[in-house]
Amino acid sequence: MVRSRPKRVYYHETRDVCDGLPDLLGRFPLRALLVARPGERVVLPAGFVPAELPLLNRLGFGPRDEDLIFVREDGSIASGDGDLEGAQVLPFSGTTKRARAFAERHGAEFHAPRIEDCLGANSKGTFQEIVNCHADERGAIGPCGVVPRWTRTASVATAFALRYGKAVVKGIHSASGLQQVVCEAGGTPSFEGMPKQVVVQEWVEHDYSPSLQCLIDASGPIRQLSTTVQILDGNHHIGNRCPSGLPDWVLEGMRWRAEIIGTELRKDGFWGICGIDFLVREQDKTVLANEVNARIPAPWYPWNASRRLLGEPLAFRMKSVSLAVGTAAGDIEKAMRPLLFDRAKRRGFVPFCLVPEHGFVYGVTYAPTPAALDALTPAVDARLGELAG
């Protein structure tokens, strides 16, 4: 007798994954709506009915209304499918205790390694220790750094700033450019609000910050999924472009470093999807791994959504977009109608993760080729500008 595939349940909780996330990032479970298919379940906080789902469905993406599961603060199901015995809960990160507790409570499988292994892999401290222990004839893995244990952070940061001219201090579970302090020689930086556990790194001057998304198999090779170039607003990551269009020497530098880092994480018990960020300086062809995010990286959503819909991923640009507070899904659809995604043409704009009270939405623009993407994005930006208020 052939067993049917277990229910797939996307539980992309973010509130207990990273340190110091603002309220807005607690709404990021909405991102799973883009990648889920009809019949696959998506868990959302009770009371947050996703206004963008009807539009996503019309564009060919997302689950059905009846596939949504709304969960109360205590993990009980407020509405939706409660028969999850044997289901497979797919988390945003294996570090989330809330999603683990949900899976255990409802008799489902939690698809991630042990929480200790996930916490270790997602720690910038673990990353720095890997970097410090590995270098070969091809060069260093990442920036010089240290994980302060018995020395005050301020003292270490000052010493690094004096040596390198600049240093950066990061919380070991920080994300999206938050909980980072840049120290310069002679300066007096404030560490107010920073966690006790941090990493101090030399500051590496760079021209851009590409990322590599990969799958670390429990017993096989490291599988590269995609490479992207980050879109930054200062130190804050606001988007990604794929494919990266990077030269071969950059791609090769990213690949072998990712192989070493991924192999070390696997030795320590981690498996699953992760993203590795890099720093690239063109002048002297410097490529250095900057940090690992051992969880679902942001570009995975649009990459996997188009792959699942069309059989292969499209070129895309994904950005967080600031809208006038209160902008509704209908307003976005009306303004963007000529530019919305057309499945037959394999191009167009898709809004998702809409949070009207914050004036926020993610937007992904798809196209069949990078050149077609470049031609389309100015029109998309102009239309979105009209919604900014």
In tens, the pLDDT along 200-259 reads 999 999 999 999 999 999 887 899 999 999 887 776 678 899 999 999 999 999 999 999
How far from 309 is each of 83, 87, 230, 303, 306, CA to CA, in Å? Answer: 27, 23, 24, 10, 5
Q: How far is the first Cα of the chain from the last one, in angstroms, to the nearest whole number?
A: 59
> What is the CATH topology of the domain spanning 206-293?
D-amino Acid Aminotransferase; Chain A, domain 1 (3.30.470)
- Backbone φ and ψ of 119, nearest 5°: -65, -40
Distance between CA atoms of residues 277 and 258, nearest Å: 10
pLDDT of residue 18: 67
Smallest Cα–Cα separation from 254: which of 226, 217, 220?
A: 226
| Distance of alpha carbon 301 from alpha carbon 295, whole angstroms | 12
What residues of the chain score a pLDDT lower than 70? 1-3, 18-25, 176-177, 235-236, 389
pLDDT of residue 2: 41
* List of E strands, the chain: 8-11, 41-45, 68-71, 77-79, 88-91, 109-110, 135-136, 139-140, 145-146, 166-171, 180-184, 198-202, 210-216, 222-233, 236-242, 272-281, 286-293, 315-322, 348-355, 360-367
pLDDT score, position 178: 72
Other C-beta atoms lying within 10 Å of the C-beta of residue 368: 13
- Letter string b/e over residues 230-248, b meaning 16 or more CB atoms within 10 A of that residue's CB: bbeeeeebbbbbbbbebee
Task: Report the distance separating Cα 88 and Cα 66, nearest Å.
Answer: 18
pLDDT score recorded for residue 156: 87
What per-residue confidence (pLDDT) applies to 230?
Answer: 85
- Residue 146 makes CB contacts below 8 A (sequence gap 6+) with 128, 132, 156, 160, 199, 200
pLDDT of residue 153: 81
Q: Quote the pLDDT of residue 5.
A: 81
Q: Which CATH number applies to 310-389: 3.90.79, 3.40.33, 3.30.70, 1.10.3470?
A: 3.30.70
